[in-house]
Amino acid sequence: MIPAIKNYEGLSVTFQVTEDCNLRCKYCYEVDKKPGDLPFEYAKKFVDIILEDEDPINAKGTDSEWILKQGLIIDFIGGDALMVPELLDKILTYYQYRAITMNHKWAYRWRASISSNGTLFEDPKVRDFMMKYKDNLSIGVSVDGCPEIHDKNRIHKDGRGTMKDIQKWWDWYLEWHGIDSVATKATCNRDTIPYLAKSIKFLHEEMRLKHININFIFEDMRLTEADLKQLDEEMEKSVMYILEHRHDLHVSMFDKGFGIGEPMKDPDKGWCGSGSMPCLSINGRIYPCFRFSPNTMHNRKLDFYVGDIWNGLNHKERFEIVRQQTRKKISPQKCLECPVESACAWCIGGAFAEKGEFYRQTNICEVHKLQSKWSRRYWEEYDKLEGTRSFDDAGKVIL
């Protein structure tokens, strides 16, 4: 398996530029989509707050302080952020103006990032925006796999599938991004299981992707024993295919660090960057990360914000509260004792969205056990073929 694309490191700040979306994907965690865009004046104030505060995430003196010493990642999210390309342009123009006039450490150390559904490249305003910021902009397109499953889950408001819309401008997108550095985000749910191996093959051979980031949703999929048996078979077929294409393909599901689990080894850490990723919602409030924004809450009365554009970051302590939701603190006993716990993911914001409290989701336990099983099998077979060594004498992963 080829190495994963190295991520740009730094403080990630998110602008939720719209609560609307042109699609209605069946598994989407944005449970309350509706028309509404971010006022530009709110965005300007958020830029000012981030640039003027030396410690916007309350990280100094903590394990997260290193983030402040890197660059800045400006993340745009919606709905689909490319629905409002002119607003994105205005925000980046203002950011550059303020950072340069302030002689800020991030004036020339920044990147912009967007995750898109890939159906909006036909708009010339979108393409103009992408060309203008080509050197500083990363856009990932979500493609869930072969048309059978992609068009079942990623649909227009009228129920039509979206694969043909994506493919229409796919060549243009690959040329814009660069085929060696482009990656997709494929999301799996219960319906995906029969198509998993076929989807990986389709993404690699038909969509010409070398980097496939793929994972199951964190919500309860109500999987049966029959589902898990079929998933076991599909993962075996997937691993056999990836081995055949190991010199030009990376699939995150079976990556060493992401796929192979071991007993808990980082009890004082969480899973992701939540609590260090301030997000401005269209209501003017700032949240610990996007998964705390109002339209992801199952009840909009849940409002765990860290500040707003009128008063600044006046509840910074909540960043640290989120970061304190560590493996040891919130894991149930079965996780503490699990032999493959270390690589098992959860979403702290998604959990809060469901119940208004912090806890560790365990909906994908059995999925992860299979993922760890086949990730280990992949690297054992890889070592035989390549004459390498992925495990030490005790069977622990050598990264």
Tens digits of per-residue pLDDT, 127-179?
Answer: 999 999 999 999 999 999 999 999 999 999 999 999 999 999 999 999 999 99
User: What is the pLDDT at residue 57?
Assistant: 96
pLDDT of 349 above 90: yes
Same domain, 124 and 212: no
Residue 129 sits in the same domain as residue 236: no
- Sequence-distant (6+) residues with CB within 8 A of 333 are none
Phi, psi of 56 (to 5 degrees): -65, -20
82/129 same-domain check: yes
DSSP 37: B
Mean pLDDT for 191-200 is 98
Question: Per the domain annotation, does 69 fall within a domain?
Answer: yes
Quote the pLDDT of residue 390. 96
Instruction: Answer whether residue 397 is part of any domain.
Output: no
Is 361 part of a structural domain of the chain? yes
| Same domain, residue pair 338 and 251 | yes
**Structural domain total, the chain:** 2
> Cβ distance 245 to 205 under 8 Å?
no
Share above pLDDT 70 across residues of the chain, in percent, rounded to a whole number: 100
Same domain, 203 and 304: no
Instruction: Indicate whether 157 belongs to any domain.
Output: yes
Averaged pLDDT score across all residues of the chain: 96
Q: Is residue 91 part of a domain?
A: yes
Q: What would the mean pLDDT of 268-295 be, rounded to a whole number?
A: 95
Full-model pTM: 0.95
Domain with residue 350: its CATH number is: 3.20.20.70
64 and 182 in a single domain? The answer is: no
Classify residue 399: in a domain, yes or no.
no
How much is the pLDDT for 15? 98
Question: Do residues 161 and 226 share a domain?
Answer: yes
Are 234 and 359 in a shared domain?
A: yes
Q: Which of 298, 324, 350 is the last residue of a domain?
A: 324
Q: In which domain, by residue range, is 46 found? A: 1-141+271-324
Name, in order, each residue with C-beta under 8 angstroms of 37's C-beta and a sequence gap of 6 or more: 17, 18, 19, 20, 84, 87, 282
My answer on whether 277 and 332 are in the same domain is no
Domain holding 299: CATH number?
Answer: 3.20.20
Query: Residue 300 has what pLDDT?
Result: 87
Nearest to 154, CA basis, from 165, 164, 166, 162: 162
* Residues 288 and 300 grouped into a single domain: yes
Look at residue 399 and tell me whether its pLDDT is greater than 90: no
Note the pLDDT tens digit of each residue in 46-67: 999 999 999 999 999 998 999 9
Mean predicted confidence (pLDDT) in 19-25: 96
Q: Is the pLDDT of residue 384 over 90?
A: yes
Task: Answer with the one of 295, 324, 353 that is the final residue of a domain.
Answer: 324
Across residues 369-397, what is the average pLDDT? 96
For residue 15, the cross-strand partners are: 76, 280
Residue 396 lies in a domain: no
46 belongs to a structural domain = yes
Tokens of 218: 């964190």
The pLDDT assigned to 7 comes to 87
